Amino acid sequence: MTQPSDAQVTSSSAEAAVTYVFAVCRSTRATSALDLTGVTGMPGGEAVRLLPSGLLTAVVQTVPAADFTDEVWQGRLADREEIERYARAHHAVVSAVATHGPVVPLPLATLYHDDDRARSRLAEEADRFHTALKRVAHHAEWGVKVYRPATPDPAAAFEEPAPETDGGRARGAGLAYLNRKRGAQALREKRREQALDVAESVDAELRGLAAASRRLRTHGAALSGDQRVHVLNATYLVANDRAHEVGLLVRALGERTGAQIELSGPWVPYSFVGEV
């Protein structure tokens, strides 16, 4: 997570305030007409407002500096519920802005010392913001996760009770054990290759439809408690006029490959705005 923040608030008193930036969009008439009364923004902050600066407009909020120091964020990051609350608040603002036109969402907890600093940042990075806005205009992000269906442990198929005679040392038991393990290993490898093939072909087909794509790390069972094997975690930037094709393609791919494919979206294109 990049944090181009310059407000490493250390000396400020408790009442000091900093400028939290949610997103950047173009200074259009639609932007200036944005109604932000319904969005609350960060807990404890003032009203979410627009901060125009030339051709770009930032969506910002004045928040108490003491609530957004590095130490406080470290504590928050360790608390899943708390971080979810802040992430949802951030996302709600970004989504509200995105309904009115292209938007570059900034990472969670992007802070500036004050409005002037935020404005000068917009001016410095104007080119990059404009490039990103051009890329994501009329596009949405779609997330695709492919899972290999949960299958019984391959070893179990080969498991047979070890001969008990002579304390499990029956003649041939060693060879039988090795053969069982060999079979299980071969089966496991075959399955893994098949799963990777499925992942590659799903990715290739979706890339054909997308303007850009990104492969993300597949996640293990630890976090989600999900026992299925996750073989593809990717995200695609798709033009809005082709959005309906995504669902159709995913369904067709699911039927063809037998894999479980989960589609999510449309999302604000968080993954395709570059390191701004």
Partner 1 sequence: MTGPRVDLDSEQMGRDLVALVLTVVELLRQLMERQAIRRVEQGDLSDEQVEEIGTTLMLLDQRMKELCEQHGVRPEDLNLDLGPLGTLLPRD
Residues that bind partner 1 (CB under 8 A): 1, 74, 77-80, 151, 153-154, 162, 168-169, 171-178, 181-182, 185, 188, 191-192, 217, 220-222, 229
Burial zone of 33 (CB within 10 Å; 0-12 exposed, 13-18 middle, 19+ buried): exposed
For residues 43 and 75, which CB has a smaller minimum distance to partner 1 in the complex?
75
Residue 230 CB, nearest distance to partner 1 (Å)?
10
Cα separation, 71 vs 129, in Å, equals 29
Residue 81 CB, nearest distance to partner 1 (Å)?
10
Handedness of CA 217, 218, 220, 224 (dihedral sign): positive
For residues 38 and 152, which CB has a smaller minimum distance to partner 1 in the complex?
152
Residue 80 CB, nearest distance to partner 1 (Å)?
6
For residues 151 and 264, which CB has a smaller minimum distance to partner 1 in the complex?
151
Residue 160 CB, nearest distance to partner 1 (Å)?
12
For residues 38 and 167, which CB has a smaller minimum distance to partner 1 in the complex?
167
Residue 183 CB, nearest distance to partner 1 (Å)?
10
Q: 41 is written with which tokens?
A: 């923004």
For residues 47 and 170, which CB has a smaller minimum distance to partner 1 in the complex?
170
Burial zone of 129 (CB within 10 Å; 0-12 exposed, 13-18 middle, 19+ buried): buried
H helix count then E strand count, the chain: 10, 9
Closest C-alpha among 63, 43, 48 to residue 95? 48
Centre a 10 Å sphere on the Cβ of residue 131 and count the other Cβ atoms it contains.
15
Residue 245 CB, nearest distance to partner 1 (Å)?
31
For residues 14 and 223, which CB has a smaller minimum distance to partner 1 in the complex?
223
Q: At what angle do helices 70-77 and 80-98 cross, to 10 degrees?
A: 100
